[in-house]
Amino acid sequence: MSSTIRIERVSKSFKAGQPVLHDLNLEIRPSEIVSLLGPSGCGKSTLLRLLSGLERDHAGRLLVDGQEIVAPSRAVGFMFQEPRLLPWLTVRDNITFGLQVRDRRQTEPLVRELIEQVQLGECADLLPRQLSGGMAQRVALARSLATQPGVLLLDEPFSAVDALTRMRLQELLLSVWQRRRFTMLLVTHDIDEALYLSDRVAVLSGRPATVREIVHVDLPRPRDRRAQEMLQQRAHLLEALRVAGSNQLTGYGTPFGV
């Protein structure tokens, strides 16, 4: 159920513009959780969209379980920064949206379990406009997991909710992951989130992005957000990010064209 991701020498540039990704390499083991940190605009979302098949025309190879990614597939789940629920469908129908109709019956228990896991049992029949931001994001999480993907890609999934809700959602994500063990690649701007969730944190350099440093977080779960080791890792990551960011202002391909 969980897959390997291999990113081999991937480069990407958009039509009229400087390269966004340059020779990027990263390998992610089954069931591993990896966070991507990096300066704004460096290409994190682009990398995720390439992996999901939403974006195309890159150099290098993107492999999921040894298969080159050519188009979006159900094997790769994607959770956007915004919930992107279909406003005309109820919570339940949004969650089952990705399932093939002929699979509906046999996936029924799975869907019920998912709804319980994301604690939406009481609102399965509500419409998206009746949900709070955090609830909507939980629906989105359940929807991206309903097809039982081996990989889950998350692009700043909890950046739009308050700090407390964010922590709850992180715990929720981990509890779902503990049962299903999908491989996770997560973009975030929140160092604490990266430290709390990941096995490894990949720090990207500024544009064009490459992996600048990989920080291993060898702490058992559940993690204590205030543990001494966490604070040390935090300082370390902050420093790595600062270097990556400063590189962006002096290096090649800055957003200001300097």
Partner 1 sequence: MRSNTRPATRPAPQDVAAVETRRTARLPTAQLVALALPAALLVAWFVATDVAQLFRANQLPAPTQVLRTAADLAAGGDLFRHVSASIGRALAGFGIGATLALLVSVVVGLSKIVEQALDPTLQGIRSVPSLAWVPFLLLWMGIGETPRVTLIAIGAFFPVYVNLVSGIRNVDRKLVEVGYVFGLSRADLVRRIIVPAALPYLLTGLRVGLGQAWLFLVAAELIASVSGLGFMLIDGQNNARPDIMMVSILTLALLGKLSDGLLRTVERRALAWTDTFQGR
Ligand X SMILES: Nc1ncnc2c1ncn2[C@@H]1O[C@H](COP(=O)(O)OP(=O)(O)OP(=O)(O)O)[C@@H](O)[C@H]1O
Contact residues for ligand X, defined by CB under 6 A: 14, 17, 20, 38, 40-46
Question: What gap in Å lies between CA 179 and CA 199, rounded to an integer?
Answer: 17
**At a CB cut-off of 8 Å and minimum separation 6, what does 91 contact?**
115, 120, 123, 124, 125, 126, 127, 128, 131, 139
220 is in the binding site of which of ligand X, partner 1, Mg ion, none (Cβ under 5 to 8 A by kind)?
none
126 binds partner 1 (CB under 8 A): yes
Choice between 31 and 45, CB closer to Mg ion: 45
Examine residue 39 and say whether the peptide bond preceding it is cis (omega within 30 degrees of 0). no
86 binds partner 1 (CB under 8 A): yes
Choice between 150 and 206, CB closer to Mg ion: 206
First to last CA, the chain: 46
Choice between 49 and 207, CB closer to partner 1: 49
Question: What gap in Å lies between CA 176 and CA 124, rounded to an integer?
Answer: 18
Please list the residues that pair with 78 across neighbouring strands: 153
> Which of 45, 117, 144, 233 is close enough to bind Mg ion by CB under 5 A?
45
- Coil, strand or helix: which one is 105? helix
> Which of 13, 35, 52, 183 is close enough to bind partner 1 by CB under 8 A?
52
Residues making contact with Mg ion (CB under 5 A): 45
Residues making contact with partner 1 (CB under 8 A): 52-54, 71-74, 77-78, 80, 82, 84, 86-89, 97-98, 122-123, 126-135, 137-138, 144, 147, 161-162, 164-165, 168
